Amino acid sequence: MSKIILTGDRPTGKLHLGHFASSLRLRLKYQEEGDYDEMYVFSADMQGLTDNAKNPEKIKENVFEVIKDNLSIGLDPKKITFFVQSGVPELNELTMFYLNLVTLSRLKRNPTIKEEIKQRGFEESIPVGFLTYPISQAADITAFDANVIPVGDDQIPILEQVCEIVDTFNNTYGDTLVRPKYVIPDNKSSRRLPGTDGKAKMSKSAGNCIYLSDDTETVRKKVMSMFTDPNHIKVENPGNTKDNPVFIYLDAFCEDREKFEELKNHYERGGLGDKVVKEYLFEVLESILTPIRERRAYYDEHPEIVEEIIKEGTAHAREKAREVLNKVRKSIGVEYFKK
Ligand code: TRP
């Protein structure tokens, strides 16, 4: 069976280290290993609109930005197809077919959707498009026969629902769609990076993110003011590394594992100051972010290149999605005219 990797980002803001640690870095790893048939990365603008219908400017501003973030980390447009979701209308047609295979109560039970509804304060005024985005996500994935989906761990319940849709479709209309598998990082700290303030997750609204596009000074300030162990008052006190975002970031990003273990043991024993650890974390992050900034500067200078990459990618994605759509129509029997 071919290996087709696909993932998307909602263009609701710039991508940050949390995205990098969970899904972006896996994309790079797959690219480097080269052991796949096709890889797609897309800007999920239709999904972004499901809770931003009244604020389309926000989506528009970020549609190319998130692709630029992906290019800046070193993803290669020769090896990966980049596209914009709304540029592939076949996805919407697939969504219409899949909508009939899911019940309202099942949608409302999805834990990620439930949590997101709460965060957004929708209460009873949930946009239908928002509630049903797992169904359109099933279209995003199946339209390309994608079977490997690198995502953040909050996406696991969505992917489970996608698999149910695939199974229902195949059981009802015969084997047609490919069942996907999600992939999350092995390293637990990388799956869901806490905010610089120690909150469970980096989020733009909490203002606790380090962005891939932040400059050196901004990164320094953010790192030096990070939340650590509030009980580690004197340097000689033993410190807690477990719920300490500085150590969680080091666990996620430090390649020198020996040094990481040494710092961790020292901090836990006492005698290691927060400032020293933060200086080191800053260095580690800078070694990751510097090449990213350099590539971004190139793409910033050449917006026409970014546009061309996405335009070509979108045309290619449409061709592929059309093939799957034709299969789907045939399986259901929505084919009335002779050629
Ligand atoms: N829901 C994903 C997110 O919020 C974005 C997304 C849309 C996606 N369609 C997808 C991810 C298909 C993987 C596969 O980040």
Residue showing tokens 């998307």: 8
Q: Which protein residue's CA is at the shortest distance from atom 13 of ligand 1? A: 7
**107-118: average pLDDT:** 94
Residue 47 in contact with ligand 1 by CB distance below 6 A: yes
Ligand 1 centre from 252 Cα, in Å?
A: 22
**23, 46, 47, 112, best to mutate for ligand 1 pocket (most atoms within 8 Å of CB):** 47
Ligand 1 centre from 186 Cα, in Å?
A: 20
Residue 44 in contact with ligand 1 by CB distance below 6 A: yes
Contacts of 269 (CB under 8 A, 6+ apart): 238
Confidence band of 207 (pLDDT split at 50, 70, 90): very high
Give the per-residue pLDDT at 267: 97
**9, 110, 178, best to mutate for ligand 1 pocket (most atoms within 8 Å of CB):** 9
Q: Which protein residue's CA is at the shortest distance from atom 6 of ligand 1? A: 8
Give the per-residue pLDDT at 1: 84
Confidence band of 339 (pLDDT split at 50, 70, 90): confident
Confidence band of 65 (pLDDT split at 50, 70, 90): very high
pTM: 0.95
Question: pLDDT tens digits for 17-51?
Answer: 999 999 999 999 999 999 999 999 999 999 999 99
Question: pLDDT tens digits for 225-261?
Answer: 999 999 999 999 999 999 999 999 999 999 999 999 9
Give the per-residue pLDDT at 129: 97
pLDDT over 90 (residue 204): no
Task: Render 183-246 in DSSP notation, one character per residue.
Answer: E--SSHHHHSPPPTTS-SS--GGGT---BTT--HHHHHHHHHT----TT--STTS----TT-HH
Any idea what DSSP says for residue 20? I
Give the per-residue pLDDT at 124: 83
**151, 156, 182, best to mutate for ligand 1 pocket (most atoms within 8 Å of CB):** 151
Residue 51 in contact with ligand 1 by CB distance below 6 A: no
Atom of ligand 1 nearest to the CA of 136: 9
Task: Give the residue ranges of DSSP H helices in 34-126.
Answer: 45-49, 56-72, 90-99, 104-109, 111-120
Give the per-residue pLDDT at 205: 84
pLDDT over 80 (residue 263): yes
Both structure tokens of 317 = 């994605």
Any idea what DSSP says for residue 270? S
Confidence band of 123 (pLDDT split at 50, 70, 90): confident
